[in-house]
Homo-oligomer: A and B are copies of this chain.
Amino acid sequence: MAVLESILSENDRIASANQRDFVTNGVWTLNLMSSPGAGKTMLLKRTLAGLGEEVRVGVLEGDITTSLDADELDGFGAAISLVNTSAGFGGECHLDAVMVRSGLSRLPLVDLDLLIIENVGNLVCPAEFDVGEHSRAMVYAVTEGEEKPLKYPVMFRAADVVVVNKIDLLPHLDFDLDLFRSNLTAVNPGATVIELSARTGEGVERWCDWLRTQFGGLRGSARPAS
């Protein structure tokens, strides 16, 4: 337990350094988490297209191995830094502050408005590591069932916003959206919920609006929400 506390304390020290760099450079930072296959990368592609050239976005892409997701995001105008946890970080199942710091060294922070950190696909461990972010979002696919907020409360409690993805599949599932929302409210009554389909694009504009409001606030400008 002393070992774990020591690891977390070291993590928090580096997370504070990351946070200072974000604030100094005026870049608002989001930690984006989900199960594997919930649709983080597809949502990011939609996000980069939706925010357009008006916003300077960086993506810190966390994966255990491969550059598949980073390659997917290439060509959408974002600065991308890939962090593979299998390369010097023991193949870890999450990003921690040290890994994020290593990826930051390859990003032009001063030129960015918004940095999105795509965490490793995992509904448990990423929520336990502060990486210095301003806010936490999770993507949840309706294919995952209604009860997961109760079964994975640490992640659902950590999220400021829950993106409910794959709503285009609702007609083909037994998923009860009201039950899901009631389970989510039970563990995190304050979470913002945005329903969308990254595949069809339905609802993505509301997500982009939410992002604009957040980093607009950091700038202190009266940036309109849409």
Contact = CB atoms under 8 A, between A and B. Distances in A.
A206 to B, nearest CB: 23
Contact of A35 (B37, B64, B147, B173): B37
B120 A121 contact: no
Interface residues of A, number: 37
- Between A36, A125, A143, the greatest number of chain B beta carbons within 10 A of the residue's beta carbon is seen for A36
B93 A36 contact: no
A68 to B, nearest CB: 5
How many copies of this chain sit in the oligomeric assembly?
2
Main DSSP-derived SS at the A contact region: loop
Contacts of A121: 35, 123, 151-152
Contact of A144 (B4, B37, B174): B37
A153 interface: yes
Contacts of A151: 36, 63-66, 68-69, 121
A193 interface: no
A4 B89 CA distance: 13
Contacts of A66: 147, 150-151
A191 to B, nearest CB: 18
A124 interface: yes
A82 to B, nearest CB: 12
A150 B36 contact: no
Contact of A124 (B3, B64, B141, B150): B64
A201 interface: no
Interface in A175-202: 199
A98 to B, nearest CB: 15
Interface in A119-162: 120-125, 141, 143-145, 147-148, 150-154
- Between A3, A91, A121, A166, the greatest number of chain B beta carbons within 10 A of the residue's beta carbon is seen for A121
* A-B residue pairs, 8 tightest by C-beta: A37-B144, A93-B124, A143-B143, A36-B123, A35-B36, A172-B172, A37-B145, A35-B35
